[in-house]
Amino acid sequence: MNTRAYVGLGSNLDAPAEQLRNALQALDQLDDTRLAAASALYTSESLLPGQPRYTNAVAALDTSLDPLALLDALQAIEHGQGRVRKERWGPRTLDLDILLYGDQVIDVPRLQVPHYHMHARPFVLYPLAELVPEDFQLADGRALAQLLSACPYVGLERL
Ligand code: ROI
């Protein structure tokens, strides 16, 4: 349990809040992994028009799985909760993204950490901010406070 990782959760199908609660339990039950903390749940419009509203949250995990083993485990949880990949960016019962993995910067075909889009997504940054100190920096040196001030809290509803 030696690395703190942050995982983004999202759902916009089949009772999204329940999907997220089930996923948090599944995260806590992963081998060599403990759910250290979870943010509140937030809802917001999809970034792509014509999709149902999303529910999102962020989880803090302590894990001794390496990043790709953690990614495998997250994908197994997604599939266990009925995710079928039809179209990229399509509606989904559950999306689990590794946002941050300790202080590592990772750029391999399967995994980019810090997550490429997190800096521009209020439904990631504001829940993450609940779980970390105010002076928190991403592994690439960007200050979370700076990202927050460039990403207004617009359209988010805290459940
Ligand atoms: N929009 C919101 N609000 N939340 C998401 O998790 C989310 N995920 C996506 C797209 C379709 C980009 N829009 C989203 O993949």
Tens of pLDDT along 57-70? 999 999 999 999 99
String of DSSP letters for 71-104: HHHHHHHHHHTT----STT---S-EEEEEEETTB
Residue 123, ligand 1, Cβ within 6 A = yes
**Digit-coded pLDDT (tens) for 92-109:** 899 999 999 999 999 999
Catalytic residue among 31, 66, 97, 121: 97
Tally of domains within the chain: 1
3-state class of 133 per DSSP?
coil
Q: Write the CB contacts of 87 (distance below 8 Å, at least 6 apart in sequence).
A: none
Residue range 49-58: mean pLDDT, rounded: 95
Q: Is residue 14 within 8 Å of 84, Cβ to Cβ? A: no
pTM (whole model) above 0.75: yes
Token code pair at residue 129: 């901010």
Mean per-residue pLDDT of the chain: 95
| Residue 53 DSSP class | P
Residue 47, ligand 1, Cβ within 6 A = yes
Residue 10, ligand 1, Cβ within 6 A = yes
**Digit-coded pLDDT (tens) for 108-125:** 999 999 999 999 999 999
- CATH at residue 20: 3.30.70.560
Classify residue 73 by burial, with Cβ atoms within 10 Å: 0-12, 13-18, 19+: buried
Distance CA 121, CA 125 (A): 6
Instruction: Give the torsion through C-alpha atoms of 116, 117, 120, 124, to 10 deg.
Output: -110
Sign for the pseudo-dihedral over CA of 88, 119, 133, 123: negative
Token code pair at residue 149: 């001030």
* Among 43, 47, 151, 157, residue to substitute to test ligand 1 (most atoms within 8 Å of Cβ): 47
Domain around 47: 3-158
Distance CA 156, CA 159 (A): 9
Residue 54, ligand 1, Cβ within 6 A = yes
What is the Å distance from ligand 1's center to 76 Cα? 20
Active site residue 97: yes
What is the Å distance from ligand 1's center to 2 Cα? 30
In this prediction, residue 1 carries a pLDDT of 74
